[in-house]
């Protein structure tokens, strides 16, 4: 790309077009997500990518995050790599990955040294218990927000698949790989049937 070329854009369907971030902006955005992500970065990643910067729609984020579940490694790290590659290629993947991982790595290393020395202090244990409760609440909140696009479609078959997977994994404690072997083809079939209904 020549210096005079126009900036890349992220095409957001049915929404305003957002300018694609540069490498530094991509690094800073994911660094802020990681630094704010107490209890998990997913909550803050969705808020930043979908709501604040509008780099993706809610449906695009859900689809990308679903893809990242099938890749090896932590889901949020996969999301950073896939998103960075989609926006700025290999350099974008490196920028997003470094922004996501480097700040917490430094902080956790320092905290680990402090915890090794003061980890038995009762006050610290109570603080960590409180942080765990807050993290669970944040995860529940973002899960509900990610479900909204699916609920708005009012597709009964998709909702049945959603409830079935929740019951199988969350309540019956069936192994996730075996559940996915059935759930993934079922989900693909739901999408295929839905598109056929639209075309017809």
pLDDT tens by residue, 116-172 = 877 677 777 777 777 777 777 777 877 777 777 777 777 777 778 888 888 998 889
Query: How far is 4 from 167, CA to CA, in rounded Å?
Result: 55
Residues paired with 19 in a beta bridge? 9
CB atoms within 10 A of CB 51: 11
Q: Is the dihedral of CA 163, 166, 167, 168 positive or negative?
A: positive
Q: Which residues of the chain have pLDDT under 70?
A: 1-18, 38-40, 119, 195-200
**pLDDT of the residue at 6:** 42
Residue ranges of E strands in 45-91 = none
């Amino acid at each position: 790309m020549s210096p005079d070329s126009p900036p890349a854009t992220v095409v957001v369907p049915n929404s305003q077009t957002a300018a694609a971030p540069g490498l530094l902006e991509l690094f800073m955005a994911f660094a802020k997500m990681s630094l704010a992500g107490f209890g998990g970065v997913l909550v803050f990643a969705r808020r930043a990518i979908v709501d604040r910067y509008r780099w993706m729609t809610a449906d695009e984020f859900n689809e990308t995050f679903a893809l990242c579940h099938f890749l090896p490694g932590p889901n949020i790290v996969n999301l950073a790599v896939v998103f960075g590659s989609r926006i700025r290629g290999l350099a974008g993947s490196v920028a997003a990955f470094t922004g996501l991982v480097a700040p917490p790595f430094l902080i956790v290393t320092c905290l680990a040294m402090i915890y090794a020395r003061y980890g038995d202090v009762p006050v610290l244990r109570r603080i960590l218990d409180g942080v765990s409760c807050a993290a669970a609440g944040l995860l529940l909140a973002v899960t509900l927000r990610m479900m909204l696009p699916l609920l708005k479609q009012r597709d009964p078959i998709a909702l049945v698949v959603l409830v079935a997977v929740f019951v199988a994994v969350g309540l019956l404690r069936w192994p996730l790989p075996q559940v996915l072997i059935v759930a993934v083809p079922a989900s693909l079939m739901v999408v295929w049937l839905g598109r056929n209904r639209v075309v017809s």
